[in-house]
């Protein structure tokens, strides 16, 4: 009697378990709209974004997404920088502003020649954690997360930049193609200004030169960004918060020399007469600004990059160099061949400097260095 009861209990238990298993299988394979197996499967596979492990095609411009930080009041003065490299209907990304632009010079938007804009999300919930020396720090740090939320389909790299950063897109694609976006990569370069590295970090990439996060790294970062923002309450800029957040994930900066950032504001040594705000004509530099880059066909040269003077120094010539002056030079044209520079075991390029008096233009012609030539 006891044996039969025991066997009956085990049989019931087995039947119950088998029934549950069959019910689950039925749910997964059912075509009922409430429990469609395809929907469930897709949700399980894509709950954290698209599957980045399946596509092994070479990286191209469509895999890059840009997050550009700007301000409504200054954007009209920065448009030309972005327009110089943005490729309409090809490049992907957004300009993030702190508020809706009201200036008639930037409306109506969008322009066909620059990215669409987005108003950054409200950061008031972080008010008690905002002890940063400058405003907008938290907003700038969150650009990567907001970009990721809006653009993640087939994305491999997220490039963070300031609104005056200039990219050479083909070069950028080539550099990032060296790395596996399915792994954790933080690609950029520290500042070319020593004081900036000392003040922040030698292991930090700067937004002025731009830097890139792999998809896998961004996916991990956005899960922890709130923690980082609350943890690093006093850092100077958003770049430093992100670098620290990346470091907390155990990822170091992968340095690429093609990302250039230099600080020209807070590094002057006035007592020794160095730097830009200087009335000594022998020390004060002539400042010319990037104007354009164009294709050309002239002998072995394929590209010309133009720099123009926006204002005069209003200083006399330097007497120590024979009363020569560069005040009359209004433009500098840099002529270069269309070729890749092999950094491994090779030298940098040399140049010839040619002054065209009739045009007040100086040409800098890049070329291979001669055997024993030393760069002056």
Task: Tell me the pLDDT tens digit for each residue of 179-199.
Answer: 999 999 999 998 877 777 777
Q: Rounded to whole angstroms, how far apart are CA atoms 197 and 206?
A: 9
pLDDT of residue 263: 67
- Reply yes or no on whether the pLDDT at 50 is more than 60: no
Per-position b or e across 123-160, b if 16+ CB within 10 A of its CB:
beebeebeebeeeebbbbbbbbbbbbeebbeebbbbbb
ω before 259 within 30° of 0 (cis)?
Answer: no
- Reply yes or no on whether the pLDDT at 145 is more than 90: yes
pLDDT of residue 197: 74
Reported confidence tier of residue 106, pLDDT bands at 50, 70, 90: low
pLDDT of residue 100: 86
Please enumerate in sequence order all residues whose Cβ is within 8 A of that of 80, keeping only pairs 6 or more positions apart, or say none: none
pLDDT of residue 260: 86
pLDDT of residue 191: 80
- What backbone torsions phi and psi does residue 255 show, to the nearest 5 degrees? -80, 130
pTM above the 0.75 mark?
no
Q: Rounded to whole angstroms, how far apart are CA atoms 212 and 159?
A: 4
- Reply yes or no on whether the pLDDT at 146 is more than 90: yes
Residue 314's nearest CA partner among 361, 276, 281 is 281
- Reply yes or no on whether the pLDDT at 352 is more than 70: yes
Mean pLDDT confidence for 68-94: 91
- Reply yes or no on whether the pLDDT at 344 is more than 60: yes
Mean pLDDT confidence for 37-59: 53
Looking at per-residue confidence, does 106 or 280 come out higher? 280
* Domains of the chain listed by start with CATH number: 61-255 (3.90.550.50), 270-367 (no CATH)
- Reply yes or no on whether the pLDDT at 339 is more than 80: no
pLDDT of residue 269: 41
């Amino acid at each position: 009697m006891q044996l039969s009861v025991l066997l009956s209990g085990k049989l019931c238990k087995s039947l119950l378990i088998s029934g549950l298993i069959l019910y689950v299988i039925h749910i997964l394979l059912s075509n009922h709209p409430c429990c469609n197996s395809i929907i469930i499967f897709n949700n399980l596979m894509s709950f954290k974004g698209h599957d980045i492990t399946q596509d092994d095609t070479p990286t191209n411009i469509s895999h890059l997404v840009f997050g550009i930080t700007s301000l409504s009041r200054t954007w009209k003065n920065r448009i030309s920088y972005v327009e110089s490299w943005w490729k309409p209907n090809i490049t992907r990304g957004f300009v993030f502003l702190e508020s809706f632009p009201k200036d008639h010079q930037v409306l109506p938007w969008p322009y066909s020649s620059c990215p669409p804009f987005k108003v950054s999300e409200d950061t008031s919930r972080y008010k008690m954690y905002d002890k940063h020396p400058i405003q907008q720090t938290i907003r700038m740090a969150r650009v990567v997360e907001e970009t990721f939320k809006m653009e993640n389909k087939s994305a491999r790299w997220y490039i963070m930049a300031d609104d005056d950063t200039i990219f050479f897109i083909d070069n950028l694609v080539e550099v990032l193609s060296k790395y596996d976006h399915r792994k954790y990569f933080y690609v950029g370069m520290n500042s070319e200004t020593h004081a900036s590295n000392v003040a922040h970090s030698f292991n930090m990439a700067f937004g002025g030169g731009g830097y890139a996060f792999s998809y896998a790294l961004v996916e991990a970062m956005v899960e922890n960004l709130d923690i980082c923002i609350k943890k690093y309450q006093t850092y100077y800029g958003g770049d430093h918060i992100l670098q620290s957040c990346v470091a907390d994930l155990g990822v170091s900066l992968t340095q690429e020399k093609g990302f250039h950032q230099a600080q020209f504001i807070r590094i002057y040594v006035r007592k020794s007469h160095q730097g830009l705000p200087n009335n000594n004509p022998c020390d004060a530099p002539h400042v010319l600004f990037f104007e354009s880059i164009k294709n050309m066909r002239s002998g072995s040269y394929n590209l010309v990059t133009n720099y123009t003077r926006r204002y005069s120094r209003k200083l006399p010539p330097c007497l120590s160099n024979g009363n020569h002056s560069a005040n009359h030079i209004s433009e500098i044209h840099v002529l270069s061949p269309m070729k890749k520079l092999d950094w491994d075991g090779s030298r940098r390029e040399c140049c010839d400097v040619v002054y065209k008096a009739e045009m007040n233009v100086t040409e800098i012609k890049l070329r291979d260095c001669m055997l024993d030539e030393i760069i002056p």
